[in-house]
Amino acid sequence: MTAQVSSEFAGVAVEFEGVSKVFGATRALDGLDLEIAPGELLALLGPSGCGKTTALRILAGFEDASSGAVLVDGHDVSRQPPNKRDMGMVFQSYSLFPTMTAVDNVAFGLRLRRRPAADRRRRAEELLDLVGLSPHARKYPHQLSGGQQQRVALARALAVTPRVLLLDEPLSALDAKVREQLREEIRTIQLELGVTTVFVTHDQEEALSLADRVGVMRDGRLEQVAPPATLYDRPATAFVASFVGTTNELPGSMESSGRVRVGAQVLPVDGPAPAAGTSVAVLVRPEAVVVTPHPDGDAIVSVATFRGAITRLRLTRKGAADVLADLPSHRAAELGAGTHAKVELLERPVVVRELA
């Protein structure tokens, strides 16, 4: 069944070319340049108000760009109204038509396309099956849970074989468990169908776990577009480093070798190195911090938080900022709260930010 559904999806390229959007005094998008490959799932990630929704709405045709162009499959769609764009959108707030059953919601787009009744019923049921909601086909939206409603919304968006699938924080109103499960299902379905997808979220874990590439946005611009692993290991800017994952910011200063001195260590710098003598913040992931128990260590474990496979330690140091460190939980036993310890950094390139 899925094979049959998937063969209909072409997977088209999407391109934002210098797209800006101004709302009165607010510049919601500021020259957005972005290419999305056919069949790719791209996540737009960023803090609230950075312009993610605006970008998606311009792609869907609900807003006009103030300048720039949006290309779908190589063609400028700026002049097309939303009902001619062939895009499936899943909204952040529940958007099912309250007067229609689940299956009628899914069949709505097919009905508009004048598909024969038997045809659209069969396809609507196929898609409900795809999102695991066949047993609830005859229910009205108010009889469904939040997660079920968003599944129906996904099926409804996919039913019309959209050229691009647009998801605007579709999981943000759901509770953690459902969110995680549905997130995985969305990814599975998207991979099976091969539909080009833009997924907007402010949740970095969500973006990293399901996207082929993640675009990190800030104030209407893209800071970095990269696969999740690259984004995490080699953030292009300090903003990306601090927004994606957890980072320690440690004081350091640049050496003439182009390396950075942090504490007693000298480490290579990832990316362009500031001039020698510059004071910088050194950005270090908790898992790149090595903690060893030592009676003369200058750090003291203040909190140890068990998180399953890893345990996160907060270490306080005299006259310096706290440091967060992750270590395998089986090693954490000897590092309970109050333990004196030595703190070192892994020998690998670090991202630095110049201090003004």
Ligand X SMILES: Nc1ncnc2c1ncn2[C@@H]1O[C@H](COP(=O)(O)OP(=O)(O)O)[C@@H](O)[C@H]1O
Of 91, 121, 273, 353, the one binding another protein (CB under 8 A) is 91
Nearer to another protein, 85 or 285 (CB): 85
Q: In which element (H, E) is residue 281 found?
A: strand 279-284
d(CA 163, CA 181): 25
Residue number with the shortest CB distance to ligand X? Answer: 53
Of 87, 102, 313, 335, the one binding another protein (CB under 8 A) is 87
List the single partner that 266 binds among Mg ion, another protein, ligand X, none, CB under 5 to 8 Å by kind.
none
Binding flags for another protein, 20-49, as an x/- string (CB under 8 A): ----------------------------x-
Of 93, 295, 307, 356, the one binding another protein (CB under 8 A) is 93
- How many beta carbons lie within 10 A of that of residue 39, not counting itself? 18
The CA–CA distances, whole Å, from 297 to 100, 189, 206, 251 equal 66, 51, 37, 19
Nearer to ligand X, 42 or 137 (CB): 42
129 and 1 in contact (C-beta within 8 Å)? yes
d(CA 77, CA 54): 16
**Phi–psi pair at 197, nearest 5 degrees:** -135, 135
Closest CB 86 distance from Mg ion, rounded Å: 23
Nearer to another protein, 96 or 222 (CB): 96
Give the CA dihedral 207, 219, 15, 58, nearest 10 degrees.
100
Residue 51, both tokens: 């312009």
The 3-class secondary structure across 195-229, one letter per residue, is CEEEEEECCHHHHHHHCCEEEEEECCEEEEEECHH
Q: Is 293 in the site for another protein (CB under 8 A)?
A: no
d(CA 3, CA 138): 25
Number of residues engaging another protein in binding (CB under 8 A): 39
113 and 107 in contact (C-beta within 8 Å)? no
Nearer to another protein, 206 or 326 (CB): 206
**Phi–psi pair at 42, nearest 5 degrees:** -105, 130
131 and 154 in contact (C-beta within 8 Å)? yes
Of 8-16, 85-93, 247-255, 315-323, which segment contacts another protein by CB under 8 A? Answer: 85-93
Closest CB 50 distance from another protein, rounded Å: 12
Q: Is 53 in the site for Mg ion (CB under 5 A)?
A: yes
Binding flags for another protein, 303-332, as an x/- string (CB under 8 A): ------------------------------
Residues lying near ligand X in the complex (CB under 6 A): 23, 26, 28, 46, 48-54
Of 64-72, 152-160, 242-250, 270-278, which segment contacts another protein by CB under 8 A? Answer: 152-160
Residue number with the shortest CB distance to Mg ion? Answer: 53
Of 25-33, 165-173, 295-303, 309-317, which segment contacts another protein by CB under 8 A? Answer: 165-173
Kindly identify the residues of this chain, within the stretch 186-205, that bind another protein according to CB under 8 A: 202
Angle between helices 146-159 and 117-130 (to 10 degrees): 130
Amino acid letter, 193: L
Of 6, 66, 80, 172, the one binding another protein (CB under 8 A) is 172
The SS3 assignment for 148 reads helix
Closest CB 9 distance from another protein, rounded Å: 17
Question: Where does this chain bind another protein (CB under 8 A)?
Answer: 48, 60-62, 81-89, 91-99, 108-109, 112-113, 140-142, 146, 149, 153, 156-157, 160, 169, 172-173, 202
